[in-house]
Amino acid sequence: MHPNPGHDRSEGPSRRSFLAAGVAAGLVTADAAAVPPNDHKEDAFDLNELGITDLQAGMKAGTYTARGLVEKYLARIEAVDRKGPTLNSVIEVNPDALARADELDKEYKRNGPRGPLHGVPVLIKDNIDTADRTATTAGSLALVGAKPPKDAFLVTRLRDAGAVVLGKTNLSEWANARCSYSTSGWSGRGGLTRNPYALDRNPSGSSSGSGAAVAANLCCVAVGTETDGSILSPASVCGIVGLKPTVGLVSRSGVIPISQSQDTAGPMTRTVRDAAVLLAALTGLDRDDPATAASRGHIASDYTRQLSDNGLRFARIGVARNYFGFHEGVDALVAESLEVIKRQGATLVETTDLPKADQFSAAESTVFQYEMKAGLNAYLARLGPDAPVRTVADVIAFNEKHADRELAYFGQDTFKKMAARDPLTSYEYQEALARCRRLTRTEGIDAVMDKLKLDAIVAPCGGPAWVTDLLAGDRYIGGDIISVAAVAGYPSITVPAGFFFGLPIGLGWIGRAWSEPTLLKLAYAFEQATKARKPPRFLATADLTVPRPIGPVTP
């Protein structure tokens, strides 16, 4: 079965009152996909398209303060996310954000900035633990009232870097892992997130809220999570940069799990430079996540050092041709991108040797179901005896009891299959995991890059955003380059490449394990040569009168 777009795929993938900030928008009706009237006049927002470097320069000059930035972004969320276009991408704002900003402003005056993220407002996905007054629910009503024992390791890293946690973003509930025919961007707690480029279209998942919020300038940068496509897919269709790191480079402790072999968090930003800055803040060794031990010696203190307009010169870039052909308009647009890459001094090398997703999707689904049962039961158990649910079985029972809210549009077939799986010692699990790694690593990315002496491999990330259909589910096409890197646990990045009828299309780049510096260098040079990103206009529906493929601006 084709993966859920998101692609955290699993099959192929009366207690206290509900938290008002999330659920007020989350309990949707049968008219949930209806597009509200758009009276938003784009765009007088004075922080529009500003990045981390811009905000730091403004704070140094005295133009901005951390408090002022938080106030501006909170007002933007109210105007664009809650009203106007009503993107519904932010599930909850942090009630302590202004107080935290005040503390950071005082510190800035005393000691100067901690680093490039000092005072920068960041949104994080609602499956990442925060031990403050915001909730962590994976979009599920079943986790409303649960209290994580501490911040996720990556949240601690962000706070230590001086970032302000502005709030939590909506997501595809349980990271698109509950049902095999789900709708991306919908959660029982958060409702439906809309794509800012065409409000009737899907933002993809499961980091849908993070992708839409960054695209709409509701924050400076955001953090998403990915198991298979949940950073790159929403980044591609929302016209932003999404970076999925090598598994183990960013700690997963305190992140609601799906797959211990594929899960990771990563940056979702408007520029490659911002992705590089945010990645440095997220990385670090964490004894609570053994996978991070493998990152020792591979962590860079500054991922911006290699960024250069000339980063593509003398590079050898593989073109994964068997990942093309799913959409003629996308192929035409990516062909223009490849010409830009050549003109920047890179050598393009054709290949069709990487595996297609259908060669490993069944094994991947098996791995997910085994790993999710073990990981999710362990996560829920650590919430403590007062948590509303303690096991996967409890979550399934909760959903059935509250079917009018949780199961109105799609079910939980994947959860039920997952609940029936054996422990990770099972031969079926071990065999499936070995198949995934052999096909995507040994016989896949590593073999092709060794044979052709490549620095990276490129292909389109997927097709344009589809019209949201809560009853029929998602209609995602393409994206094999996303999946092969995800299953391998290797890094990938998407960069805006242009538009198809005004809808963003991303170019995907993948590489070997721990090759983030190389991927960022190459992606940055492509971004600087094309300048393809354009902010959204919050149209009610796609403008089908514009030219079909609008490719990158070529030098």
Active-site positions read 125, 206, 230
> 3-state SS of 426-438?
CHHHHHHHHHHHH
- Contacts of residue 211, defined as CB under 8 A and 6 or more positions apart, other chains included, come to 203, 204, 222, 224, 234, 235, 237, 238, 240, 242, 268
Rounded to a whole number of angstroms, the CA Rg of the chain reads 21
Which of 210, 204, 217 is closest to 176 using CA atoms? 204
The region, left, alpha or beta by phi > 0 then psi within -120 to 50, assigned to residue 419 is alpha
Q: How far is CA 198 from the centre of its chain?
A: 19
Q: Residue 483 is encoded by which pair of tokens? A: 């999946």
- Note whether 505 and 461 are within 8 A (CB): yes
Q: Exposure string (b/e) for 446-461, b if CB count within 10 Å is 16 or more?
A: eebbeeeebbbbbbbb
Q: How many residues does the chain have?
A: 555
How would DSSP label each residue in 151-188? --HHHHHHHHTT-EEEEEE--SHHHHTS-TT--TTEET
Interatomic CA distance for residues 384 and 431, integer angstroms? 34
Dihedrals phi, psi of 460, to nearest 5 degrees: -65, 145
Which among 205, 28, 220, 2 has a CA at the least distance from the CA of 117? 220
